[in-house]
């Protein structure tokens, strides 16, 4: 019996060596799996980012095309293309916004046109106003010249009739209109005008006196 034990121990040793090698192989495989699993998410994340960027680029192109069609033709929006992220209602809203923007642009152009017309009208009014002011100044100058001429003539008549005898002047004054008599007598000295009135026709003198008093009030 003592001779069989060594044979039994010699058979178990290869089995233990095989089990140790198998365990080591499993651990090595686990290490490789972990390493591969760490690299895979990075690749997946990069791919997801690329797909998201491509999707955003496609959506931007689709939106630009919709807005371009809205600005140029203002037609009814076409059905959404396959794979488009915009629904029919969203496209309709974009269409409405584009139409409103176009209406605002037209209104802005109309306001600018009216502003230009108003500016032209204001310039024309200013031009007419300056012409009227020039005409008014010219007319006032003519009136002043006429008044100066009339004053010179009146002063000449006053001087002439003041040097005449009151009786002779009264005889002439009886033939003058009332407004001319009043203008001449107003410029005469009181002593001269009273002497002439005393020699005039009583009715004429009364009318002249009444008019002089009325003008002095």
* Tens digit of each residue's pLDDT (9 = 90 or more) over 83-125: 556 788 888 888 888 888 888 888 888 898 899 999 999 999 9
Q: What is the pLDDT of residue 48?
A: 60
* Positions in the chain short of pLDDT 50: 1-10, 39-45, 73-80, 82
Instruction: Give the span between the Cα atoms of 83 and 92, in whole angstroms.
Output: 18
Q: What is the pLDDT of residue 41?
A: 46
The domain tally of the chain equals 2
Q: What is the pLDDT of residue 127?
A: 92
Whether 36 maps to a domain, the answer reads yes
Whether 1 maps to a domain, the answer reads yes
Q: What is the pLDDT of residue 142?
A: 92
Q: What is the pLDDT of residue 12?
A: 58
What are the start-end ranges of the E strands in the chain?
none
Q: What is the pLDDT of residue 125?
A: 93
Which two three-digit tokens encode residue 1? 């019996």
- The parent domain of residue 168 ranges over 164-217
Q: What is the pLDDT of residue 13?
A: 57
Whether 81 maps to a domain, the answer reads yes
Whether 121 maps to a domain, the answer reads no
Instruction: Give the span between the Cα atoms of 172 and 155, in whole angstroms.
Output: 17
Kindly report the number of other CB atoms within 10 A of residue 202's CB atom: 8
Query: Do 173 and 196 touch, CB atoms closer than 8 A?
Result: yes
Exposure string of 5-35, with b = 16+ CB inside 10 Å and e = fewer, is eeeeeeeeeeeeeeeeeeeeeeeeeeeeeee
Instruction: Say what angle helices 202-216 and 190-199 make with each other, to 10 degrees.
Output: 150
Q: Give the contacts of 127 (CB within 8 A, at least 6 positions apart).
A: none
Which two three-digit tokens encode residue 54? 């491509």
Instruction: Return the ∠ at Cα 205 (arms to 200 and 206), rounded to 5°.
Output: 150
Q: Which of 86, 120, 151 is the last residue of a domain?
A: 86
Which two three-digit tokens encode residue 23? 């365990």
For the chain, what is the radius of gyration of the CA atoms? 61
Query: Do 175 and 181 touch, CB atoms closer than 8 A?
Result: no
Q: What is the pLDDT of residue 89?
A: 82
Whether 72 maps to a domain, the answer reads yes
Instruction: Give the span between the Cα atoms of 193 and 176, in whole angstroms.
Output: 15
Q: Which of 86, 121, 152 is the last residue of a domain?
A: 86
Q: Which of 86, 116, 150 is the last residue of a domain?
A: 86
Whether 210 maps to a domain, the answer reads yes
Instruction: Give the span between the Cα atoms of 172 and 133, in whole angstroms.
Output: 44
Q: What does each C-alpha distance from 170 to 182, 191, 194, 216 come to in angstroms?
A: 13, 14, 10, 22
């Amino acid at each position: 019996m003592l001779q069989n034990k060594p044979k039994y121990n010699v058979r178990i040793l290869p089995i233990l060596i095989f089990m140790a090698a198998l365990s080591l192989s499993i651990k090595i495989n686990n290490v490789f799996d972990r390493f591969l699993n760490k690299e895979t998410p990075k690749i997946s994340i990069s791919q997801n980012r690329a797909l998201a960027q491509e999707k955003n680029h496609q959506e931007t192109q689709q939106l630009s095309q919709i807005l371009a069609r809205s600005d140029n033709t203002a037609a009814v929006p076409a059905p959404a293309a396959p794979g488009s992220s915009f629904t029919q209602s969203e496209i309709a809203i974009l269409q409405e916004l584009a139409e409103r923007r176009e209406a605002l642009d037209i209104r802005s152009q109309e306001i600018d046109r009216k502003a230009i017309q108003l500016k032209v009208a204001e310039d024309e009014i200013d031009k007419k106003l300056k012409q009227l002011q020039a005409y008014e100044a010219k007319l006032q100058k003519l009136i002043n010249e006429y008044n100066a001429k009339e004053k010179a003539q009146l002063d000449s008549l006053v001087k002439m009739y003041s040097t005449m005898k009151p009786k002779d002047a009264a005889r002439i004054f009886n033939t003058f209109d009332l407004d001319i008599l009043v203008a001449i007598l107003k410029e005469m000295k009181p002593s001269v005008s009273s002497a002439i009135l005393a020699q005039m026709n009583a009715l004429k003198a009364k009318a002249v006196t009444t008019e002089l008093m009325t003008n002095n009030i």
